Amino acid sequence: MKTLHLLLLGFLVTSVLAPSCKEDEDVVDCDAYHWGYEGEEDDDTWLNCYADCDGQSQSPIDIAGSSPDAALAALETHYEAVPIELINNGHTVEFEYEAGSVLKLNGVDFTLAQFHFHTESEHTIIGTHYPMEVHLVHKNAAGDLAVVGVMFEEGAENAFLKNFSDHLPASKDDHYSSSTLVNAGDLLPPVGAYYTYSGSLTTPPCSEIVTWFVMKTPVQASSTQIQNMHAITHDNNRSVQGANGRAIKEYN
Binding site for Zn ion (CB under 5 A): 135
* C-beta closer to Zn ion: residue 135 or 139: 135
Using DSSP, state whether 35 is helix, strand or coil: coil
To the nearest whole angstrom, how small is the minimum distance from the Cβ of residue 116 to Zn ion? 6
The enclosing H or E element of 7 equals: helix 2-22
* C-beta closer to Zn ion: residue 135 or 138: 135
The answer to whether 116 is a known catalytic residue is no
Distances, alpha carbon 194 to alpha carbons 147, 212, 246, in Å: 12, 10, 16
To the nearest whole angstrom, how small is the minimum distance from the Cβ of residue 202 to Zn ion? 5
For the chain, the straight-line distance linking the first and the last C-alpha, in angstroms and rounded, comes to 79
To the nearest whole angstrom, how small is the minimum distance from the Cβ of residue 122 to Zn ion? 6
To the nearest whole angstrom, how small is the minimum distance from the Cβ of residue 42 to Zn ion? 16
* C-beta closer to Zn ion: residue 116 or 248: 116
To the nearest whole angstrom, how small is the minimum distance from the Cβ of residue 19 to Zn ion? 37
Task: Give the number of other CB atoms < 10 A from CB of residue 97.
Answer: 22
To the nearest whole angstrom, how small is the minimum distance from the Cβ of residue 227 to Zn ion? 19
Considering only CA atoms, give the Rg of the chain: 22
* C-beta closer to Zn ion: residue 19 or 232: 232
* C-beta closer to Zn ion: residue 156 or 237: 237
* C-beta closer to Zn ion: residue 3 or 116: 116
Determine the Cα angle at 240 with ends 33 and 112, to 5°: 75
Per-residue DSSP letter, 32 = T
- Which residues have a Cβ under 8 Å from the Cβ of 117 and sit 6 or more positions away? 92, 93, 132, 133, 134, 135, 229, 233
Instruction: Give dist(CA 145, CA 191) in Å, integer.
Output: 23
Residue closest to 197 by CA, chosen among 181, 211, 184: 211
Identity at 118, one-letter amino acid code? H
Using DSSP, state whether 110 is helix, strand or coil: strand
Write the Ramachandran bin of 23: left for phi over 0, alpha for psi from -120 to 50, otherwise beta. alpha
**Active-site residue, from 5, 34, 78, 91:** 91
The enclosing H or E element of 135 equals: strand 132-139
The residues assigned a catalytic role are 91
